[in-house]
Amino acid sequence: MAAPLLRLAAANDGDADGRFSPRTIPEQLAEELGADIVAGRRKAGERLIELDLAQNFGVSRGPVREALRILERKRMVDLLPRRGAYVRPLSLKSIADLFNVRLALSLLAARTMATAPVESYVETLARRCTELNDMVETSDPIAFARVTTRAVRTIAHGSGNELLLELSIDLANQTVWETIWKTPLDYLTQDVRREAADLMAETLEAVRKRDPEAAVRSLRLLLENDRDRALAVLTDLRKEAGDLSAISSG
């Protein structure tokens, strides 16, 4: 197998975070490997051998090691001392778990933000709401989903809780999402989008009125809907095709 080397990483568009740290080789490796895992080019449970990876990527084992640590942190591989790295199976249940944790953190964010709103974040959230409203009519579910995610992240920012924000970003970077983005988002019909946009607007309103309970209530509805619909789609998907090897029955 010839050495494919690294494609030297396209634009560094600030990885969903604010930091513009230089893009290190281990990070690039982790990204590539992560993509491979999501795409099913690496199967669940497969063992990853440092030397092989190093040769395939055209680097030495050092950076590969660090990349594996990064992927461990992202919960994409299990790292057993002296026994190697294994790609972690990604069950439907673990996706549900992920949704629920995100939900809990987002609700804490909403509650906190509504308790002591910071004007700049409220404004940003308002902008997102406007965007969502505008997108109800158009029919681009992917764009809609992205803005929703961004709005939720704004709330995480607005909470002022840095740990919460960090965890949210970590979870968002979780590759599960990459998988989910690739699933059909047809369930985001106009009606569903309408409802979501309204609920987000309600949340914004509650934040403005400094009513934490109301904010939590509406955001919870929004995210629970999202979770349930996404899970339904994923479940169906599994029934049809037994592949997508990254997603096991679990």
Q: Which residues, in sequence order, are bridge partners of residue 90?
A: 247
Of 39-68, which residues contact DNA (CB under 7 A)? Answer: 47-51, 59-63, 65-66
CA distance 155 to 115: 12
Q: Using the 8-state DSSP alphabet, how is residue 42 labeled?
A: S
Binding flag, residue 6, DNA (CB under 7 A) = no
Q: How far is the CB of 129 from its own copies (least distance, A)?
A: 24
Report how many residues bind DNA under the rule CB under 7 A: 21
Which tokens go with 95?
A: 């996706």
Per CB under 8 A, 107 contacts its own copies:
yes
- Residues 161-220 binding DNA (CB under 7 A) are none
Q: Binding partner of residue 230 among DNA, its own copies, none, CB under 5 to 8 Å per kind? A: none
Contact pattern from residue 8 through residue 37 relative to DNA, giving x for each residue in contact according to CB under 7 A and a dash for the rest: --------------x-xxx-----------
**Contact yes or no for 110/205 (Cβ under 8 A):** no
Q: Pick between residue 75 and residue 194 the one whose CB is nearest to its own copies.
A: 75
Label the pairing between strands 247-248 and 90-91: parallel
Task: Choose from its own copies, DNA, none: what does 107 bind? Cβ within 5-8 Å by kind.
Answer: its own copies
How far is the first Cα of the chain from the last one, in angstroms, to the nearest whole number?
A: 33
Gap between the Cα atoms of 125 and 114, Å rounded:
12
User: What is the three-class DSSP state of 11?
Assistant: coil
CB of 9 to DNA, least distance (A): 12
76 in contact with DNA (CB under 7 A): no
